[in-house]
Structure 1
Amino acid sequence: MHIHNISLENSILNSFISEMRDIDIQKDPMRFRRNIERTGEILGYELSKSLNYKSVNIQTPLGTAAEFISTDNIVLCSILRAGVPLHNGLLNYFDKAENAFISAYRHHKSKPESFEIIVEYLACPSLEGKTLILADPMLATGQSMVATFEALKPFGKPKAVHLVSVIGAQEGLDYVSKHFDADAHLWIATVDEKLTDKGYIMPGLGDAGDLAFGEKLQH
């Protein structure tokens, strides 16, 4: 897998990540969502450099201009619910993309640190021969990304696969690298060093879904 860690070079993205991490600033859910969205726009721009392009002639009021336009048929798939702001950021740039949505959550077993990924809802167009962008803001263990990709397989074989995340742990990067083809790409804003015993990114930023949309109901 090709891993693109955008944080290896300093940019305005640093400010967005800092605000998402900050325990005081992240209390503003609208700003938190917008920072994820802006991060998605930056990651989408970087990803766009790897797409396929062709030259087309564009008629202007004064003549003809040759421009290079992407030829990829993109399907943008996000993992609910935390993936919605990231999806919106990517969709701002890939506005002609088809869209897919999937729910994936951790089902904890007898021990808090033991869980499995449950997929319950899935809406997806055909993926056959298309470019799949799979978006999830938090790449912790990597199990959600892999489970989601497995659930999408009945919809066809994409010609290219791109994973997009805001924050990941090295363990999660290692896990997806083992489960996706060598020609797949991961675009990530920053990488933290480890996971907690319960599988949460450390230092991370907390629960992205709760920060964006409010705490989940407890059953």
Structure 2
Amino acid sequence: MRVTVLDHPLVAHKLTVLRDRKTPSPVFRQLVEELVTLIAYEATREVRVEPVEVTTPVATATGTALSTPRPLVVPILRAGLGMLEGMTRLVPTAEVGFLGMARNEETLDIVTYAERLPEDLTGRQVYVLDPMLATGGTLVEAIKFLRTRGAAEVTCLCLLAAPEGLEALEAKLDDDDVHVVLAAVDEKLDEKAYIIPGLGDAGDRLYGVVD
């Protein structure tokens, strides 16, 4: 498994504003979109392409186009939906699927409650959107699910990760074709499995459900 943590002043700035509990939901959503676009730029560095011929106003040129099948973007409901616009802004021709997974707050088990994906993902490059990599349970189950359908490469885009979550992915997957790209690795998880210092519940803050 590969892990890439972005080192860029704009990423650090946007993440700092996201962390602030005073940042209102509309601003939070906008910043998530902007930050995801920056993360996606790095995450798609190895997206498959092929040469194409195009005609400019003055000559013929050899250019680059995304290969088929197109990349598949899979936000994990519900918080991953808040990352979708930022990803598709960079890759507007990508195919989009959905995977509904939730953590039982008492047992911390992952429950899959919905999915809308192609039955056959053989050879596909898949980009999973999930803002918070906390225990790692959700991403582990999501990656396993995608692998059972034949996905060749899985790249996970996250805003934040805890060291425990990264360790869980490494231990439970043992998969060289998984790449995690994120804005920062935080200090630890607390007793409720929330990332510290983190930014709170990303889904709640995206959609305005905040204490």
SS at match of 1:95: coil
- Name the residue aligned to 1:71: 67
Please state how far the C-alpha of 1:36 moved relative to its aligned partner.
1.0
* Alignment partner, residue 168 of structure 2: 175
SS where residue 108 of structure 1 aligns? coil
CA distance in 2, matches of 1:148, 1:215: 25
Give TM-score scaled by structure 1 length.
Answer: 0.88
Structure 1 segments, 4+ long, off by >4 Å, are none
Answer yes or no: is the 8 Å Cα contact 1:34–1:85 preserved in 2.
no
* CA displacement 1:68-107 (0-9 Å, x = unmatched): 2232621110111111121221111111111111221121
**Superposed, which structure 2 residues align to 1:92-111 within 5 Å?**
92-109=89-106
> Would the alpha carbon gap of residues 99 and 196 (structure 1) be closer, same or farther in structure 2, given more than 3 Å must change?
same
Q: How big is the alpha-carbon RMSD for the aligned residues of Structure 1 and Structure 2?
A: 1.6
CA offsets 1:38-76 (integer angstroms, 9 cap, x no match): 111111111222223322221111111222223262111
Where do residues 52-201 of structure 1 align in structure 2 (5 Å cutoff)? 52-71=48-67, 73-109=70-106, 114-125=107-118, 126-154=120-148, 156-180=149-173, 181-201=175-195
SS at match of 1:12: helix
Q: SS where residue 109 of structure 2 aligns? A: strand
2:158 partner letter: S
Number of the residue aligned with 1:21: 19
CA distance in 2, matches of 1:30, 1:127: 35
Aligned counterparts of 2:114 and 2:54: Cα–Cα separation in 1: 42
SS of the residue corresponding to residue 199 of structure 1 reads coil
Is the 1:108–1:115 contact (alpha carbons within 8 Å) kept by the matching residues of 2?
yes
**1:5 aligned onto 2:5:** yes
Structure 1's 152 and 182: CA in aligned 2 closer, same or farther, altered over 3 A? closer
Q: After TM superposition, give the deviation of residue 153 of structure 1 in Å.
A: 4.3
State the distance in 2 between where 1:23 and 1:98 align.
34
Q: Give the SS at the match of 2:169.
A: helix
CA distance in 1, matches of 2:16, 2:179: 25
Number of aligned pairs?
A: 207
User: Shift of residue 19 of structure 1?
Assistant: 0.8
State the identity %: 30
Alpha-carbon distance in 2 for matches of 1:21, 1:33? 12
Q: 1:44 maps to what in 2? A: 40
